[in-house]
Amino acid sequence: MAGPGIRYCHFARELAPRFAVSLLIPNDPAGLPLPGVDIIRARSDRHRQLSELSSRFDVVVAQGGLDVRTMTLLAGRTVRTIYDLYVPFSEVLTFQAERQRAGGSGQLVYRAHAQRQRIVLATGSAFTCANERQRDLLLGALNAARRIRLEDYDGDRTLSGLVAVVPFGLPAEAPRATRRVLKGVLPGIAETDKVLLWGGNIWDWLDPLTPIRAVAKIAAMRDDVKLLFLGLGHPNPAAEKMEMTGRAVSLAERLGVSGTHVFFNFGWIPYEERANYLLEADLGVSAHFDNLETLYAHRTRLLDYFWAGLPTLTTRGDALGDLVAREQLGRALEYEDVDGWVEAILSLLDEGGLYRRLRANVQRVRARFAWPVVVEPLAELVDRPGRPVGCTAGAVARTAEYALLRARISLGDKRASRRA
Amino acid sequence: MTSVLLVPNDFVGSRMAGPGIRYHQFASALARRFDVTLLIRNDPVDVQLPAVRIVQAPGSSYARVKELSRESDVVIAQGGLGVRTMRYLARAGVRTIYDMYVPFSETLAYEAAQGRAASYGTLSSRAQLVRQELALATGDAFLCANDRQRRLLLGALSVLGRLGMNRYRQDPTLRNLVTVVPYGLPAIPGTSAGAVLKGVVPGIRTEDRVLLWGGGLWDWLDPLTVIRAIERIASVRDDVKLYFLGVRHPNAAARAMGMNRRAVELAERLGLTGKYVFFNLGWIPYDERASYLLEADLGVSAHFDSIETRFAHRTRLLDYFWAGLPTVTSRGDVLAELVEREHLGRTVAPEDAEGFAAAVLTLLDDETEYRAIRANLEAIRPRLAWNSLVEPLAELVDGGTSPPPPKNMLKLPAAYAALRLRIALQDRRRPSERDRESGRSL
């Protein structure tokens, strides 16, 4: 499982004591520890399956919405839909802009996504997102989509029945190490080394270059500070490989630190194994650029660091960067500030008192991110009486436009593959 | 030289409220770099600004904006303009910067407060929405007052198809599309023209401590909690007084709101009026406000937990900062966050009268904290100076061209006209509603 799968497992587990919960998943459910949850295997004709299922349920909670046909259909039925929109449009925009740079069909794909997003906003009964910034975005979008009416405000002045914040949580159980995986095990990392862990993929909108440059600078002064990029590659094989990964690898090589101070671990680390790496590391790191993606991002890797009690070094500008600065869970640095990183890495590693204080702060905020706590607003949303949205003419027209865009995209893809 | 036309939507002159002050400051800051024309609606014109050309036109000024825009490179308009005007400017290819610092949430709160028939309120808020949509669809760039408003605007712009990939690739932060220009503080510190409160207002003695509520009593604000806090304080000591400054709005047609009445009634019922709670039922000219602010001991503000609060930018707090007044306010908006982060006073949960009373007493009695806060207010002043805050706007004006807005949005005026027609039809049936509405539409 990656972040999205983990999120839905926890939704199912936390909602099950209060509601009759079914979880619709594409994979084999074997080994999912979800007592009291009815597991349904997704069929290939998902639209028909959901159409049949929807009459049995009061509420459907779906990640990122559903197929446009299905959303339009459900909007006309009595079932209430809660669409979980924790991936903001800005991430899609950034992703597709990078893809288009590489000569892909990004422009059309983004337009199709934007169109689909309008259908999601027009047909959902309520929405969830990962942080307050995303909530601002969604409220603006819903207003422009004419989904916020005077009577909604009259009955609910905070509009909390329309958009709820459901962040990512931390497992209730503290992480436990089962074996040594890094220090004295990974060639190039000694028992006494200090390890900075980058725990997740290098998406194109992230900035691995600044931490690499900082570690290379430190390598010229001392030999015991190592940076490990863990889990490059996605468990879903369809997810694409990122250009920034290549740039990070070649920068480390050019600076002569690859394999000596900077390590790249390709291949996905099984969920249960992650604790071993996290617990052996000394600092969690993450960095990004000043752009639209950062404005609304919610980087779940930071939650892994919090879970393992690791002080975090990150860039300021996003919601979790704010949290790190406000709660003193590490440091949130300026964009692309190599010297700032050098200074922060050294002071966190060398000042024992500071390091211990930060670790204590991390322990303190962990309770706030327990899954039962973060899922509560979703449970309240499910519990809230509401009426179906109704299927508007606008949603139907947009569905047709969307189908047209998708057809153009697949035509373009076919042509491209013929050329190749 | 680049020529800029500024179109405020409220009075600019001796009787200014927040919106007018903003355009007064825009005009004087931009005049240093551009040819600035300020189009104002008040009659008579009682304002003069060096190097700024001032033109007067009444309320709905389609003809005048059209004419002036021909000699302008950029039009900066508060809250957008009339739909006809916006459509004209989009077609004529004049660059427009629409200042959207009043978020939709305030419009909702305003409409909800009118207590009108549901159908009328719905029509009226839909009309506002269509007008806002046209502004967002045709503006070349937008201003707002804080980061929350910026995130809200970007959400709306994404739905309206304004955030294309080409724009993102030229400007990955989109700061050339939506720029934050908060409210600022005048560069000149306030000067008092003499005592106006203590020993002057009957019931306020020279040795009393005065809490100042420095602005209108809009319906989404909560003067009631502050009055209840005063009730608690009055039961233990008799030297703490609450003064409401400028209960009515200078744009007299606008906003005769229910909260005014409720506040007056509550104070009356608790037996506080004229002894501990005072209402100034007129609007204080801008130049005289300093005397009140400088004589007060604390600035106070309170609101409810609502979507309006989430996106609000309450300018009265800036008056308090300007006058060096420690502030007690309820939490939930950005300026309360600033008060907390920079320690400019105390913040309290919404509707917590007891907490409010405790915060007031702490600040009045703890001289060390009071002095520390005043020092913090002094330190933050340069960061909030209008001159530096207007700089991003000047850069936007200088920034040249941006991709043209999608012209298919230009059909919105028809939808708007249809809504206005339906509203007018309802108005004919209810003349009193029309009177209230007319003070607000541009």
- Test B154 with A118 for CB contact under 8 angstroms: no
- Test A292 with B108 for CB contact under 8 angstroms: no
| Closest partner CB to B158 (pick from A139, A141, A153) | A141
A156 Cα to chain B: minimum distance (Å): 8
What the block records as the tokens of B229 is 């806090």
How high is the pLDDT of residue A87? Answer: 87
In this predicted structure, the answer to whether residue B436 has a pLDDT above a threshold of 70 is no
- Test A158 with B306 for CB contact under 8 angstroms: yes
| Closest partner CB to A137 (pick from B109, B151, B168) | B151
Residue A168, helix vs strand vs coil: coil
How high is the pLDDT of residue B441? Answer: 33
In this predicted structure, the answer to whether residue B48 has a pLDDT above a threshold of 60 is yes
Measured distance CA(A163)–CA(A121) in Å, rounded? 11
Instruction: Specify whether the backbone of A330 is left (phi greater than 0), alpha (psi in -120 to 50) or beta.
Output: left
> What element of type H or E holds A262?
strand A262-266
How high is the pLDDT of residue B298? Answer: 98
A132-144 and A106-123 helices cross at what angle (nearest 10)? Answer: 80
Residue B23, helix vs strand vs coil: helix
A-to-B residue pairs, Cβ atoms closer than 8 angstroms = 115
CB under 8 Å to A349, separation ≥6 — which residues?
Answer: A194, A225, A282, A283, A355
With an 8 Å Cβ cutoff, the interface of chain A facing chain B consists of: 89-90, 93-94, 96-97, 100-101, 106-107, 110, 114, 117-118, 121, 133, 136-146, 148-151, 153-154, 157-159, 289-292, 295-296
If you ran DSSP here, which 8-state letter would residue A29 be given? -
Q: Which segment, A201-215, B250-264, B389-403, is predicted with the most confidence on average?
A: A201-215
How high is the pLDDT of residue A270? Answer: 81
Question: Is B165 an interface residue toward A (CB < 8 Å)?
Answer: yes
- Test B159 with A141 for CB contact under 8 angstroms: yes
Mean pLDDT along residues B363-372:
97
Measured distance CA(B171)–CA(B399) in Å, rounded? 12
Sheet of strand B327-330: strand arrangement: B277-279, B240-244, B209-213, B298-301, B327-330, B345-348
Chain A residues near residue B122 by CB distance under 8 angstroms: 149-151
Q: B112 vs A18, which has greater pLDDT? A: A18
In this predicted structure, the answer to whether residue B138 has a pLDDT above a threshold of 80 is yes
| B163: closest chain A residue by CA | A93
How high is the pLDDT of residue A280? Answer: 96
If you ran DSSP here, which 8-state letter would residue B9 be given? S
Which alpha helices (DSSP H) does A21-149 contain, by range? 46-54, 68-75, 89-101, 106-123, 132-144
Chain B residues near residue A158 by CB distance under 8 angstroms: 305-307, 310
CA angle (A375, A376, A378) in 5-degree steps: 70
CA distance to B23, B32, B46, B81, per residue, from B56 (Å): 14, 22, 11, 16
Q: Give the tens place of pLDDT for each residue, B190-245.
A: 788 889 999 999 999 999 999 999 988 888 999 999 999 999 999 999 999 999 99
Give residue B424's Cα distance to chain centre.
28
Question: Is B415 an interface residue toward A (CB < 8 Å)?
Answer: no
Mean pLDDT along residues B329-348:
97
| Closest partner CB to B152 (pick from A100, A139, A289) | A139
Number of neighbouring beta carbons within 10 Å of residue A35: 7
Which stretches of chain A score pLDDT less than 70? Answer: 100-105, 234-242, 387-388, 391-393, 420
How high is the pLDDT of residue B93? Answer: 85
Chain A residues near residue B108 by CB distance under 8 angstroms: 148, 150, 153
Mean pLDDT along residues B6-31:
87
- Test B305 with A158 for CB contact under 8 angstroms: yes
Instruction: Specify whether the backbone of A159 is left (phi greater than 0), alpha (psi in -120 to 50) or beta.
Output: left
Q: Which segment, A238-242, A407-411, B1-5, B89-93, is predicted with the most confidence on average?
A: B1-5
User: What are the phi and psi torsion angles at B432 (to 5°)?
Assistant: -65, -30
Number of neighbouring beta carbons within 10 Å of residue B316: 24
| A292: closest chain B residue by CA | B173
Chain A residues near residue B310 by CB distance under 8 angstroms: 136, 158
Q: Which residues of B388-403 are buried (b: 16+ CB within 10 A; e: fewer)?
A: ebbebbbebbebeebe
B346 Cα to chain A: minimum distance (Å): 18
Give residue B206's Cα distance to chain centre.
32
Number of neighbouring beta carbons within 10 Å of residue B173: 16
CA angle (B29, B35, B37) in 5-degree steps: 85
Mean pLDDT along residues B385-397:
92
Question: Is B133 an interface residue toward A (CB < 8 Å)?
Answer: yes
Residue B428, helix vs strand vs coil: helix
- Test B304 with A157 for CB contact under 8 angstroms: yes
CB under 8 Å to A252, separation ≥6 — which residues?
Answer: A212, A216, A258, A262, A264
Give residue A187's Cα distance to chain centre.
31
> DSSP assignment of B283-313, as one string?
PPPHHHHHHHHHH-SEEEE-B-SSHHHHH--
Chain A residues near residue B179 by CB distance under 8 angstroms: none
So what's the ipTM on this one?
0.90
> What element of type H or E holds A225?
strand A225-232
Q: What is the CA radius of gyration of chain A?
A: 23
Measured distance CA(B220)–CA(B337) in Å, rounded? 19
| Closest partner CB to A150 (pick from B122, B133, B164) | B122
- Test A93 with B165 for CB contact under 8 angstroms: yes
Chain B residues near residue A96 by CB distance under 8 angstroms: 165
Instruction: Specify whether the backbone of B5 is left (phi greater than 0), alpha (psi in -120 to 50) or beta.
Output: beta
- Test B158 with A114 for CB contact under 8 angstroms: yes
Residue B38, helix vs strand vs coil: strand
CA angle (A25, A31, A36) in 5-degree steps: 70
- What is the distance in angstroms between the CA of the first residue and the CA of the last residue of chain A? 33
Range of weakest confidence among A19-23, B10-14, B221-225, B317-321: B10-14
Chain B residues near residue A145 by CB distance under 8 angstroms: 159
How high is the pLDDT of residue A398? Answer: 77
Residues linked to residue B212 through DSSP beta bridges, in sequence order:
B243, B299
- Test B168 with A100 for CB contact under 8 angstroms: no
> What element of type H or E holds A285?
strand A283-285
| Closest partner CB to B154 (pick from A110, A137, A158) | A137
Number of neighbouring beta carbons within 10 Å of residue B113: 17
- Choose from A142, A143, A288, A298 for mutation: most chain B CBs within 10 A: A143
Chain B residues near residue A321 by CB distance under 8 angstroms: none
| B170: closest chain A residue by CA | A97
Chain A residues near residue B109 by CB distance under 8 angstroms: 153
In this predicted structure, the answer to whether residue B428 has a pLDDT above a threshold of 90 is no
| A152: closest chain B residue by CA | B108
How high is the pLDDT of residue B437? Answer: 39
Q: Is B150 exposed, middle or buried (0-12, 13-18, 19+ CB in 10 A)?
A: buried
Measured distance CA(B225)–CA(B356) in Å, rounded? 8
Number of neighbouring beta carbons within 10 Å of residue A187: 6
Question: Is B410 an interface residue toward A (CB < 8 Å)?
Answer: no
How high is the pLDDT of residue A24? Answer: 94
**In this prediction, what percent of chain B has a pLDDT beyond 90?**
57
Q: Give the tens place of pLDDT for each residue, A283-305.
A: 999 999 999 999 999 999 999 99
How high is the pLDDT of residue B433? Answer: 44
Residues linked to residue A21 through DSSP beta bridges, in sequence order:
A37
| B173: closest chain A residue by CA | A291
If you ran DSSP here, which 8-state letter would residue A370 be given? B
CB under 8 Å to A221, separation ≥6 — which residues?
Answer: none
Q: Which residue has the tokens 């206005």?
A: B420
How high is the pLDDT of residue B435? Answer: 43
- Test A149 with B125 for CB contact under 8 angstroms: yes
Measured distance CA(B75)–CA(B142) in Å, rounded? 11
How high is the pLDDT of residue A11? Answer: 96
| A294: closest chain B residue by CA | B173
How high is the pLDDT of residue B10? Answer: 83
Residue B399, helix vs strand vs coil: coil
Question: Is B310 an interface residue toward A (CB < 8 Å)?
Answer: yes
CA distance to A116, A237, A335, B196, per residue, from A98 (Å): 20, 19, 19, 63
Global pTM reads 0.90
B391-398 and B18-30 helices cross at what angle (nearest 10)? Answer: 60
